[in-house]
């Protein structure tokens, strides 16, 4: 498999959309997550909250320049001396990296009880739960779709006269203002994105925010597995 324009576009969008490398790789098919990560980096895509990169040790040049006798790497093709010449200083203001991804807003109303273990870590989307400023308080599978009163989707201007056929929101049509909820699966002929105006502050429109940011219900009380973008098995 090669990185065609389309595949790269998909990778980029999904990566920025918060999908994990595994999900992306799975979706693209024919590539490993390593390939996805590697490509993402090569593309210059910034790294999203990575578990291994939480903090940044501000100690440049701390690798013994002497001669590390031990180096029992299973795959020692070429030792990495990491020279680090002339570095006697190293002592700056701890500019604690502040990633703060533009997306993935995690709001927690004061009154909310955070006692939801949140099972199923691999739900298919960045684990975002609870609510968002716009409203769409936790929805249960039962009342799905029903309560979406807050944040009325104001349609000030008919930016999209025909919100369907004809002009589907393609990967390239995405911007910060349109809902990037995927419709179908990348690569398929009619794959497109919602394209509706987003709920301010979120990557999705109000309706899809309601689906994306759902609070998990206690085990057992869960019924219809809500379709998630880039999520489970292909369903159409």
Partner DNA sequence: CCCTGATTCGC
Partner DNA sequence: GCGAATCAGG
CA distances from 213 to 33, 74, 94, 126, 127 (A): 25, 43, 34, 10, 8
Write the interaction track for DNA spanning residues 116-145; mark x where CB under 7 A is met and - where it is not.
------x-----------------------
Contact present, 11 and 38 (Cβ < 8 Å):
no
At 197 the three-state DSSP class reads strand
Check residue 196 and report its DSSP letter.
Answer: P
Q: Which is nearer to DNA, 29 or 141 (CB)?
A: 29
CA-based nearest residue to 66, from 48, 84, 54: 84
Work out which of 13, 16, 31, 169 binds DNA, going by CB under 7 A: 31
Helix (H) or strand (E) holding 183: strand 182-183
Binding mask 152-191 for DNA (x = CB under 7 A): ----------------------------------------
Residue 162 near residue 176, CB atoms below 8 Å? no
User: Could you say which of 75, 154, 234, 236 contacts DNA (CB under 7 A)?
Assistant: 75
Q: Least Å distance between CB 25 and DNA?
A: 9
Among 13, 17, 48, 205, binds DNA (CB under 7 A): 48
Q: List the alpha helices (DSSP H) in 102-180.
A: none
Here the tokens at position 15 are 């990566």
63: contact with DNA by CB under 7 A: no
Q: Is residue 1 a contact point for DNA (CB under 7 A)?
A: yes
Q: Which stretch binds DNA (CB under 7 A): 43-51, 103-111, 130-138, 187-195?
A: 43-51
CB of 168 to DNA, least distance (A): 27
Q: Which stretch binds DNA (CB under 7 A): 70-78, 178-186, 202-210, 220-228?
A: 70-78
Please identify, using beta-carbon distances, which residue of 127 and 160 lies nearer to DNA.
Answer: 127
Nearer to DNA, 3 or 191 (CB): 3
**98 sits near DNA (criterion: CB under 7 A):** no
Asked if 39 is part of the footprint of DNA (rule: CB under 7 A), the reply reads: yes
Smallest gap from residue 138 Cβ to DNA (A): 24
Task: Assess contact for 43 and 11: CB atoms under 8 A.
Answer: yes
Q: Find tokens 């590390």 and name the residue.
A: 68
Residue 128 CB partners (closer than 8 Å, separation 6+): 104, 105, 106, 212, 213
Instruction: Give the residue among 85, 82, 72, 124 at the shortest CA–CA distance from 231.
Output: 124
Residues that bind DNA (CB under 7 A): 1-3, 20-23, 31-35, 37-42, 47-48, 50-54, 73-75, 77-80, 122
């Amino acid at each position: 498999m090669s990185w065609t324009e389309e595949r790269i576009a998909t990778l980029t969008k999904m990566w920025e959309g918060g999908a994990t490398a595994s999900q992306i790789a799975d979706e693209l098919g024919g590539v490993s997550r390593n390939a996805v990560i590697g490509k993402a980096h090569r593309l210059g895509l910034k790294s999203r909250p990575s578990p291994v990169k939480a903090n940044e040790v501000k100690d440049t040049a701390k690798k013994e320049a002497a001669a590390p006798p031990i180096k029992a790497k299973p795959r020692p093709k070429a030792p990495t001396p990491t020279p680090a010449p002339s570095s006697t200083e190293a002592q700056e203001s701890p500019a604690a990296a502040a990633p703060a991804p533009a997306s993935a807003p995690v709001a927690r109303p004061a009154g909310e009880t955070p006692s939801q273990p949140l099972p199923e870590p691999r739900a298919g989307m960045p684990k975002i739960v609870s609510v968002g400023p716009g409203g769409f308080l936790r929805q249960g599978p039962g009342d799905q779709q029903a309560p979406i009163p807050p944040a009325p989707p104001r349609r000030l201007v008919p930016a999209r006269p025909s919100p369907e056929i004809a002009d589907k929101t393609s990967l390239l049509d995405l911007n910060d203002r349109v809902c990037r909820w995927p419709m179908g699966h990348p690569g398929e002929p009619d794959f497109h994105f919602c394209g509706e105006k987003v709920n301010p502050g979120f990557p999705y429109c109000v309706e899809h925010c309601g689906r994306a940011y759902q609070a998990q219900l206690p085990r057992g009380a869960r019924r219809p597995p809500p379709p998630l973008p880039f999520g489970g098995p292909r369903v159409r």
